């Protein structure tokens, strides 16, 4: 769940406990996100797809440059 502050909350369906997974400043401005079975969080904005590692807090750009427009491909 992403709340109005931009933070991502995780809901444990077994216990019903809601916890903060990441603060909005950590994951940036994105339109959607998905969790992988390996624990990574994939985020998508208008111009970029990134993989976020919640353990190391490292963000890796998977696709896109962050700039809108035609790139000639």
pLDDT for position 65: 74
pLDDT for position 15: 92
CA distance 19 to 16: 10
Residue 2 has pLDDT above 70, yes or no: no
pLDDT for position 71: 64
pLDDT tens digits, 9-61: 778 888 989 887 766 656 566 667 778 888 888 888 777 888 888 788 788 88
* DSSP assignment string, the chain: -B-TTS-EEEE-TTT--EEEEE-HHHH-S-SEEEE-TTS-EEEE-SSEEEEE-TTT--EEEEEE-S--S----
């Amino acid at each position: 769940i992403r709340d109005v502050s931009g933070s991502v909350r995780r809901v444990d369906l077994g216990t019903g406990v809601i916890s903060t997974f990441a603060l909005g400043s950590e994951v940036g401005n994105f339109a959607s996100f998905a969790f992988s079975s390996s624990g990574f969080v994939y985020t998508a904005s208008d111009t970029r797809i990134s993989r976020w590692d919640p353990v190391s807090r490292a963000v890796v750009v998977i696709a896109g440059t962050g700039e809108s427009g035609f790139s000639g491909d």
